[in-house]
């Protein structure tokens, strides 16, 4: 099964993504993780990505598409995957033709997301400054909401209230993708 998780930072995508990955025996792949790893490299590409991420901006579509399609060519992703953080723009969504089964939108308010992130931030990542978080939320509304509409029209979108308990959200996702708990 090929599943996409969409939501603002702090919506619980990685929590649910890891639960789903275990349940469906499909690998979990997060573009945020990929880019954070690349940002650690002492190369021009690493420095370039780090700068963009720390400001809360998106990596340009062309680069993102190049990197994601390279990853998804690996044999472990052949049968399916849980993809978190991609696609985030209409250009990415339209260029991504991988036979997606479901797109799960974990919906939480901006206020709740900021609250969760400031709460968990005793071990804040370098790209999690308040300015970067706000920018990321702003860009979600501007660039990623049209992606939701794109998948809604294709009848692939499943909308989930991400402000409930983790277990409840998980159960709801399973029922909406028609998997027994």
Which residue stretch of 21-29, 81-89, 102-110, 166-174 sits at the interface with ligand AMP (rule: CB under 6 A)?
81-89
Measure the N-to-C terminal CA separation of the chain; round to a whole number of Å: 16
Tokens of 64: 């993102």
**Cα separation values, 86 from 58, 66, 145, 160, Å:** 11, 12, 13, 18
What burial class does residue 49 get, using C-beta atoms within 10 Å of its C-beta: 0-12 exposed, 13-18 middle, 19+ buried?
buried
Number of Cβ atoms within 10 Å of the Cβ of 81:
23
Q: How many residues bind ligand AMP (CB under 6 A)?
A: 17
Q: Is 64 in the site for ligand AMP (CB under 6 A)?
A: yes
Q: Is 140 in the site for ligand AMP (CB under 6 A)?
A: no
Q: Is 21 in the site for ligand AMP (CB under 6 A)?
A: no
In angstroms, what is the minimal distance from the CB of 68 to ligand AMP? Answer: 7
In angstroms, what is the minimal distance from the CB of 110 to ligand AMP? Answer: 14
- Binding residues vs ligand AMP (CB under 6 A): 9, 31-32, 35, 52-53, 56-59, 64, 85-88, 92, 136
């Amino acid at each position: 099964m090929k599943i996409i998780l969409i939501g603002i930072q702090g919506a619980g995508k990685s929590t649910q993504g890891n639960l789903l990955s275990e349940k469906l025996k499909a690998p979990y792949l997060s573009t945020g993780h990929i880019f954070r790893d690349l940002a650690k490299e002492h190369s021009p590409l690493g420095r370039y990505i780090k700068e963009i991420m720390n400001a809360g901006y998106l990596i340009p579509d062309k680069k993102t598409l190049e990197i994601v399609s390279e990853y998804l060519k690996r044999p472990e992703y052949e049968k399916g995957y849980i993809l978190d953080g991609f696609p985030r723009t209409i250009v990415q969504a339209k260029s991504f033709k991988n036979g997606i089964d479901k797109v799960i939108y974990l919906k939480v308010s901006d206020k709740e997301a900021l609250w969760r992130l400031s709460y968990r931030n005793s071990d804040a990542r370098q790209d999690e400054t308040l300015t970067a978080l706000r920018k990321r939320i702003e860009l979600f509304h501007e660039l990623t909401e049209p992606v939701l509409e794109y998948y809604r029209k294709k009848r692939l979108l499943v909308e989930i209230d991400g402000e409930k308990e983790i277990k409840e959200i998980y159960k709801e996702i399973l029922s909406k993708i028609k998997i027994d708990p």
